[in-house]
Amino acid sequence: MLFNARFYYPVLAIFFVDLGLTLDQYAVLNVAWAVSIVAFELPLGAVSDRIGRRPLVVAAGALMIVEMAVMGFAPTGNATLLFAMFLVNRILSGLAEAAASGADEALAYESLLEVGRDSEWPDVLARLQRISAAGFLIAMVVGAAVYDADFLNSALSVVGIEAGLEASMTVRFPVYLTLLLGIGAFVSALGMSEPGTATVKGVVQLRDSVDQIRQAASWIWRTRFILAVILFFLVLDSVVRLFLTLNSSYFRMIGIPAALFGVLGAVFAAVGLFSPTLSRALLHRLAPNQIFAVISALMLVSLGGVAVSRSWYGAIFIVPMAIGFQMLGYFSSQYLNEATASSQRATVLSFKSLAGNLSYGVVGALYAAAFRIAGGGVTPSPGSPEEEAVLGATLVWLPVVLLVVNVPLFLWGRSLPRMQEKPGTPAGGPGA
Nearest CA to 29 out of 99, 82, 73, 101 is that of 82
- Are 178 and 6 in contact by the 8 Å Cβ rule? The answer is yes
What is the average pLDDT across 119-147? 85
**DSSP letter (8 states) at residue 159:** T
pLDDT in the model for residue 198: 54
Number of Cβ within 10 Å of residue 134's Cβ equals 16
pLDDT in the model for residue 200: 53
What is the average pLDDT across 248-254? 78
pLDDT in the model for residue 429: 40
Nearest CA to 337 out of 123, 41, 44, 192 is that of 123
Number of Cβ within 10 Å of residue 375's Cβ equals 19
pLDDT higher than threshold 90 for residue 188: yes
- Are 269 and 401 in contact by the 8 Å Cβ rule? The answer is no
pLDDT band at 294 (very low <50, low <70, confident <90, very high): very high
pLDDT band at 385 (very low <50, low <70, confident <90, very high): low
> What is the C-alpha radius of gyration for the chain, rounded to an integer number of angstroms?
22
What is the average pLDDT across 141-156? 84
Nearest CA to 178 out of 76, 98, 265, 71 is that of 71
CB neighbour class for 139 (10 Å; exposed up to 12, middle 13-18, buried from 19): buried
Nearest CA to 367 out of 403, 394, 404 is that of 394
Average model confidence (pLDDT) across the chain: 82
pLDDT in the model for residue 271: 79
pLDDT in the model for residue 183: 96
What is the average pLDDT across 56-62? 94
Number of Cβ within 10 Å of residue 310's Cβ equals 12
pLDDT in the model for residue 377: 61
C-alpha span between 162 and 142 (Å, rounded):
19
What is the average pLDDT across 262-266? 71
pLDDT in the model for residue 205: 53
pLDDT band at 30 (very low <50, low <70, confident <90, very high): confident
CATH, domain range 9-420: 1.20.1250.20
pLDDT in the model for residue 105: 83
C-alpha span between 36 and 198 (Å, rounded):
27
CB neighbour class for 285 (10 Å; exposed up to 12, middle 13-18, buried from 19): exposed
- How many Cα atoms occupy the beta-carbon half-sphere of 110 within 13 Å? 26
Residue type, 355: A
pLDDT band at 427 (very low <50, low <70, confident <90, very high): very low
pLDDT in the model for residue 170: 86
* Cβ-proximal residues to 422 (8 Å cutoff; 6+ apart), any chain: 284, 285, 286, 287
Residue of higher predicted confidence among 431 and 150: 150
Residue of higher predicted confidence among 424 and 241: 241
pLDDT band at 174 (very low <50, low <70, confident <90, very high): very high
Residue range 296-313, pLDDT digits in tens? 999 999 988 888 877 777
What is the average pLDDT across 358-377? 77
* Cβ-proximal residues to 373 (8 Å cutoff; 6+ apart), any chain: none
Cα 303 from chain centre: 17
**DSSP letter (8 states) at residue 392:** H
